[in-house]
Structures are given as C-alpha cells and as structure tokens.
Homo-oligomer: A and B are copies of this chain.
Amino acid sequence: MDGNPVLAATGSSAPAPADEQDTVAYRPGYERVAEEILRLIAELQLQPGDRMPTENQLASRLGTSRTVVREAVKILSAIGRIRAQKGRGLFVANDEGMLGSSLWGSFFLPTDLDHVYRLFEFRRVQEAAASRLAATRATPADLRAIEEAAETCREGHLTGRRELFDRGDDDFHLSVAKASQNPFLVDAVREARRLQRQSSTIGLHGTVGGHAEEAVAEHAAIYQAIKGGDAEAAAQAATVHLDQTLEDYRREIQRRVFG
C-alpha cells in the first residue's frame, strides 16, 4: 500500500523539533477498535446511559482480543465517551463527565499548603462563575434542589450531625453548579471538591465548629441571590463563602501546627 520510504533526514539542517509526522502512521489496533466501538454505538442507536456490549462480546464481535478492547475502552473513557463500572458493565457516557478522567491536580502534593491554597483559589473561580450563571438560568427544579440542600446542611449544623452537614454542603455546591446549566463547570466543581476531600487531612469543610454557623448563613445568601436573579450578588456571595471557608481552614491549620 504505502511504498513510502520514510526518508530519515537524520543529519542536516534543522534539528527538527522532534519529529512532526514521521513514521507514516502505523495505526495500532486498539485505535482502530476504539473507532469501531464508536461506530457500533451509533449503529445500535445507543443513548447516553445505555448499557453497552460487554468487553468479551466486543472482543469477539470485532474479531480481536479482550486486551485490545480494554485498551480501546480506556481511550474512549478518557475522552469521555463511555463509562466503565466495575462489576456492572460499560455504559454510554451521559453528557456530564466530559472533563473526565479525574487526572487533574496530578502534581498535587497532599500536604503542600500552598497547593491547598491554590485549590481554594480554583474553587472560588469555579463556584463564583457557576453562581453567576445560575442566577440567570436556574430552573424552578434547580432552585428547589439548592434550597433543599441548604436546608439539609442547616439541619446538620443545628443537630450537630457532621455527616449530614457535609452531605448538605456537597449537595448545595453541586446543585448550584448544575443550575449554571454548564456541564463543564459542574465537572470542575465536582472535581475540585473531590481533590480537596482527598488531599485534605482536615476534611472538606474545615471544621463544623468554627465556620458552620456562618456557612449556613452564607449558603442562604447565595441561594437568595440566585433566586432573585442577581448575578453579581450571587458571584460575590460565593466568593465570600469560599474566602471564609479558606480563612477557617487556615485557622484550623494554625491551630494544629502551633497549638
């Protein structure tokens, strides 16, 4: 087919910044298979969320081994087209999860305080933007979800049930993100929270004792601004909330370190 003699210009002239397109495309099988899987999804008219054939079925159907299918699956899930669940199966990805792969913060060192600060900064950007958009786009259902989460959170605080507070807090921020109607922002918010949870020795919310009272009030402020359609106020309220949380976090760290 390709009688292309790959003239390796080894020496001479420019060092050639790496090789742009040398090697006339060898095209590994797993790549071909990845394409075929996509084609198959289209062919079978599978909708987001639908089950896909199992890995073994795909392997035999596409005339290859399970190994290759698995590598193709990894590619497709990395670019957010399908989702794999251990013990369940493969599924066509729903629109969310686009930022996929949870590989953010790869340079994250769990104990590095500077990075913790950067993460808060990141969250502030994301959540302020989400709140701003939510103020002009939230549906009645969105508003209900936000209010309900805020209420859960408040109840957790009043009754001193930490896990209830945390769950409410999580729901609150995610509900706001969803209300922005931007799936990428939802992902960014979710991912940032996941990273923080994972890296923090303290837990996501600093302390319940220190900041919970204000947090409940700040949630209410955010909710009201969104409900009232005041985009700037919503963004401002979210920023304040994150800054307060960071401040609380900072205090907690100091307490642990110094006293």
Inter-chain contact B15/A115, CB cutoff 8 Å = no
- A198–B80 alpha-carbon span in the complex (Å): 11
Chain B residues near A121 (CB, 8 Å)? Answer: 133, 182, 184
- A178–B15 alpha-carbon span in the complex (Å): 11
- Give A27-55 as 1s and 0s: 1 = Cβ < 8 Å from B's Cβ atoms: 01011001100110010000011000000
Is residue A258 contacting chain B, with contact meaning CB distance below 8 A?
Answer: no
The smallest beta-carbon distance between A112 and chain B, in angstroms, is: 9
Range of interface residues on chain A?
A: 35 or more
Is residue A10 contacting chain B, with contact meaning CB distance below 8 A?
Answer: yes
Binding site for B on A (CB under 8 A): 2, 10, 12, 15, 17-21, 23, 25-26, 28, 30-31, 34-35, 38-39, 42, 48-49, 67, 70-71, 74-80, 84-86, 94-99, 101-108, 115, 118-119, 121-122, 125-126, 129, 133, 136-137, 139, 141-142, 178, 181-185, 187-188, 191-192, 194-195, 198
